[in-house]
Amino acid sequence: MIEKEHLDYLTSIVGEENVKADKAHLIAYCYDATRERFEPDAVIFPRDEQDISKILRFCNENKIVIVPRGAGSGFTGGALPSNGGIILSLERHMNKLLEIDMENMVGVVQPGLINMDFQKAVEEVGLFYPPDPASENYSTLGGNVSENAGGMRAAKYGITKDYVVALRAVLPNGEIIKAGKKTIKDVAGYNTAGILIASEGTLAIITEITLKLIPKPKFKQTYMGVFPDVNKAMNAVFKSLAAGANPVAMEFLDALVIKALKEKFPQVELPENAGGILVGDVDGSSQAEVDSQIQTLKEAFAKFGSVGFIEAKDEAHGNSLWFARRNASPATMIYGTKKLNEDISVPRSKLPEALDAIYAIGEKYGFNVPCFGHAGDGNIHVNVMVKDKTNPKEMEDGHKAIEDIFQMVCDMGGTLSGEHGIGLSKAPFMNIAFNEAEIELFRSIKKAFDPNNILNPFKMGL
Amino acid sequence: MIEKEHLDYLTSIVGEENVKADKAHLIAYCYDATRERFEPDAVIFPRDEQDISKILRFCNENKIVIVPRGAGSGFTGGALPSNGGIILSLERHMNKLLEIDMENMVGVVQPGLINMDFQKAVEEVGLFYPPDPASENYSTLGGNVSENAGGMRAAKYGITKDYVVALRAVLPNGEIIKAGKKTIKDVAGYNTAGILIASEGTLAIITEITLKLIPKPKFKQTYMGVFPDVNKAMNAVFKSLAAGANPVAMEFLDALVIKALKEKFPQVELPENAGGILVGDVDGSSQAEVDSQIQTLKEAFAKFGSVGFIEAKDEAHGNSLWFARRNASPATMIYGTKKLNEDISVPRSKLPEALDAIYAIGEKYGFNVPCFGHAGDGNIHVNVMVKDKTNPKEMEDGHKAIEDIFQMVCDMGGTLSGEHGIGLSKAPFMNIAFNEAEIELFRSIKKAFDPNNILNPFKMGL
């Protein structure tokens, strides 16, 4: 528990209206998308970078734990105060779009700005910010950077780290640092921004983000490739990309997801013969470029086993084709009362093999494991469906299946997480993915930034 | 000086043929492109990662300094044994292309492989590795990663860090780590690869590099924009890019460089009225795309003050247009006997202002300062031309001019180095670019990796 005199001092920094320790606030800030709950000792809403500097300096001296938080939409508990301490919420005040610099094609934002608000603002002036995590309507850019968020458009445009040009941050000792500049090239000093990205709030508090923007592609078209089974679809993913296809997104649905969609959403547009689906958009600066992309995909899919190919006639038709992918997650709930879902990622060429192995693990424990996700970048959303979540044996088996899947993925050269991070949820599996020297190095890096271990301690298994 | 028993032990690891301490070898490995000279105590040629692990473990225990070296083509002394110790040369054995993985579109290489050898190998199978530092014919990929090398194609395709997918490396304590995977997305653990890039051999020895490849663009065309002065050319750079132009390269020559080229190379193809030149290539997957790019550039240049625009008729004509840019560096030698050249970088919109300020600084000290470089990414090669290098006063003034330029660039939101790194040469200027907290953080990061400070110590001013 935090002492009253500490709370009083923090109040003297940010004002009474920005420090909350009443029950309602502690409950409001105790959860994230994992549905785990840990009540903080207090919630504090810094107004600016100077506030954060003062708060951290004080907390560092007094060894008070600080857990930074954006929208609390993370899937692995990164923003949960699992060891108590203070929630540092960036959403109330530090949520501004500071600048759209048209000349240098960058945007400068505060960490609490919501991803979609930024996307909309830059598109209004003809620019484009590609990273589009599924949480884009509510997750914050600070959270996106801290987790290195991906999204559907990663297949063509990459992920958050590919767009971070510069950061400002406050170190646990209260010192303010800049990492990177508005320049395209900068090789002076260590790439501090590079290590802050994906550091899950354990190294510093990010206070300002400079993001690369690109010209908004003028033309777009949705496609759907229909395959007899998911194995053929997965083969077509890497083979069509190697053949020169460059779609914005290449999402997949497996047979179980297709079945669930048809059952739960009878209006869904999915061909009768679909045992595996690839759906996505292509884009370009001219209609000719889009046409040529569609043609490349169609030919490559046909060569690698498709039984159908649908080109969206217009935007409404495109949205109708996307309906299936957008509703894949709720549809899977026909298979159980509890979903254990993980976001593993493998090299694209391993997708067919990985899917086969996932189904075999499901069979071993008696689970349906519907899969969908970002095939274009090898990122699979695996859903181990527990039929009766009140049955402890079944829940235990579900967790065993997940562990088997992690082991298989790492053996295959893949990773525990393509998008969601490690946080609390995947911390027990760090030793599957990393050797002792690697984990020891992570601990040394953590200590270099945060010697008193006040910033989001024990996350990522550190 | 290294002790004989240490040398004997190192010999027992790699064999006699791979440890050299004779004068000829010490001289052969005492220089780099800075022309500074520091003789090492010995040169060692590890055969593989295991050798490196054993060497580092031993040197760490015995506090023997290790300086990793690729081709020794660096411009800032990164590979110089300025504090003695052993040169660890990766060029003799660890120079193999291990794999071109067509399915996942990555190449796996050892650090000693020469950039151009890699480019050629991947182009033979229809793929493309864009980073093309001017040293591409002799610099190694390990050096490129350690310095985060750029190049002409950075305007469209980015720099080395944008292509590093994964690394293997040996820590100073001899432990072997993997950083990153062949997956597109990976957010498990800290982004260790991110901090190793551009770390100038101070944190770990990179033993294997996995590099992203893209499909080779099928069509290419060279263009040249002619401007009455460099200020107008620089304005056209960021304005044409903001207008949607996306050239592979956008290089510039200023009036002094143009004058020097005409004097030194009478055959050069440069219009009479050129006071500033932008030259480069556009590319695409179709001729239509290339045509549209050329059209966009031509229109934007005209709008922003060009007085001429040349489209290459064929490859030979393209090479002829490139001749001026390729020979800019030797041409500048008409202005002096010694060139003090630096590779500063500014946000693109600051290019006109930066050039004005550079010429003013030149005037203040009485120097010609011809400039050329990678305008498309804000990277200026500044050349302070010393007329008489035997005149100590003039040399001192030259160095003062360089310091003024660094200060001006940093005040403008630019960086000390766009491509060359800090090494020894720029170490004295670190305090212009970074505050005390930032430098202290760099020191902490260095210590986290290398607590005994055996790896390339005191480089980057650390």
CATH of residue B52's domain is 3.30.43.10
ipTM of the complex: 0.95
Whether residue B241 is contained in a domain is answered as: yes
Whether residue A165 is contained in a domain is answered as: yes
DSSP per position, A338-363: EEEEE--B--GGGHHHHHHHHHHHHH
Kindly determine whether residue A194 and residue B189, on different chains, have CB atoms separated by under 8 Å.
no
Whether residue B447 is contained in a domain is answered as: no
Instruction: Count how many domains chain A has.
Output: 4
Q: Are B304 and B239 spatial neighbours (Cβ–Cβ below 8 Å)? A: yes
User: Among A92, A125, A145, where does a domain finish?
Assistant: A92
B114 SS3 class:
strand
Same domain, B272 and B193: no
In this complex, the residue of A189, A241, A414 whose CB is nearest that of residue B442 is A189
- Give me the tens of pLDDT residue by residue for chain A, a chain 462 residues long: 789 999 999 999 999 999 999 999 999 999 999 989 999 999 999 999 999 999 999 999 999 999 999 999 999 999 999 999 999 999 999 999 999 999 999 999 999 999 999 999 999 999 999 999 999 999 999 999 999 999 999 999 999 999 999 999 999 999 999 999 998 888 899 999 999 999 999 999 999 999 999 999 999 999 999 999 999 999 999 999 988 899 999 999 999 999 999 999 999 989 999 999 999 999 998 898 899 999 999 999 999 999 999 999 999 999 999 999 999 999 999 999 999 999 999 999 999 999 999 999 999 999 999 999 999 999 999 999 999 999 999 999 999 999 999 999 999 999 999 999 999 999 999 999 999 999 999 999 999 999 999 999 999 999
Closest CA to A411 of A352, A354, A340, A342: A354
Q: Are A144 and A131 spatial neighbours (Cβ–Cβ below 8 Å)? A: yes
Whether residue A456 is contained in a domain is answered as: no
Tell which A residues from 207 to 236 touch B, by Cβ distance under 8 Å.
215
% of chain A exceeding 90 in pLDDT: 96
**A455 to chain B, closest Cα gap in Å:** 15
Same domain, B107 and B189: yes
Tell which B residues from 392 to 431 touch A, by Cβ distance under 8 Å.
413-422, 426, 430
Whether residue A106 is contained in a domain is answered as: yes
DSSP per position, B130-194: ----TTTTT-BHHHHHHHT---TTHHHH--GGGTEEEEEEE-TTS-EEEE--SSS---SS--HHH
Kindly determine whether residue A191 and residue B434, on different chains, have CB atoms separated by under 8 Å.
no
What's the CATH code of the domain at A191? Answer: 3.30.465.10
Residue B375: closest C-alpha in chain A: A184
Same domain, A271 and A372: no
Same domain, A113 and A142: yes
Whether residue A142 is contained in a domain is answered as: yes
At B291-348, the pLDDT tens digits run 999 999 999 999 999 999 999 999 999 999 999 999 999 999 999 999 999 999 999 9
Note the pLDDT of residue B373. Answer: 95
Alpha helices in B76-128 (DSSP H): 115-124
Which of chain B's residues have a Cβ under 8 Å away from the Cβ of A192?
A: 195, 438, 441-442, 445
Kindly determine whether residue B190 and residue A347, on different chains, have CB atoms separated by under 8 Å.
no
Which of chain B's residues have a Cβ under 8 Å away from the Cβ of A177?
A: 435, 437-438, 441
Same domain, A224 and A211: no
How big is the CA angle at A180 (ends A178 and A182), to the nearest 5 degrees?
Answer: 110
Which of chain B's residues have a Cβ under 8 Å away from the Cβ of A122?
A: none
Same domain, B79 and B116: no
User: Among A58, A92, A126, where does a domain finish?
Assistant: A92
Same domain, B61 and B78: yes
Closest CA to A354 of A335, A376, A379: A379
Kindly determine whether residue B349 and residue A104, on different chains, have CB atoms separated by under 8 Å.
yes
B61 Cβ contact list (under 8 Å, min separation 6): none
Same domain, B250 and B281: yes
What's the CATH code of the domain at A388? Answer: 3.30.70.2740
Same domain, B223 and B201: no
Kindly determine whether residue A161 and residue B194, on different chains, have CB atoms separated by under 8 Å.
yes
Q: Which two tokens stand for residue A61?
A: 């001296």
Q: Which amino acid is at A59?
A: C
Side by side, which strands form the sheet with B276-284? B308-311, B219-227, B276-284, B251-253, B371-374, B379-386, B338-342
Whether residue A172 is contained in a domain is answered as: yes
Q: What does the alpha-carbon distance between residue A249 and residue B78 come to, in Å, rounded to a whole number?
A: 41
B241 SS3 class:
helix
A9 interface with B at CB cutoff 8 Å: no
Q: Are B439 and B49 spatial neighbours (Cβ–Cβ below 8 Å)? A: no
DSSP conformation class of B376: G
Whether residue A457 is contained in a domain is answered as: no
Same domain, A297 and A375: no
- Parent domain of A53: 4-92
Kindly determine whether residue B441 and residue A448, on different chains, have CB atoms separated by under 8 Å.
yes
Q: How many CB pairs under 8 A join A and B?
A: 273
Tell which A residues from 158 to 187 touch B, by Cβ distance under 8 Å.
158-159, 161-162, 171, 173, 175-178, 181-187
Residue B241: closest C-alpha in chain A: A103
- The residues with which B380 forms a beta bridge, in sequence order, are B373
Same domain, A303 and A364: no
A347 interface with B at CB cutoff 8 Å: yes
Q: Which two tokens stand for residue B74?
A: 């660096």
Cα dihedral B259/B260/B261/B265 (nearest 10): 120
User: Among B92, B124, B154, where does a domain finish?
Assistant: B92
What's the CATH code of the domain at A262? Answer: 3.30.70.2190
Same domain, B208 and B224: no
Kindly determine whether residue A239 and residue B102, on different chains, have CB atoms separated by under 8 Å.
no
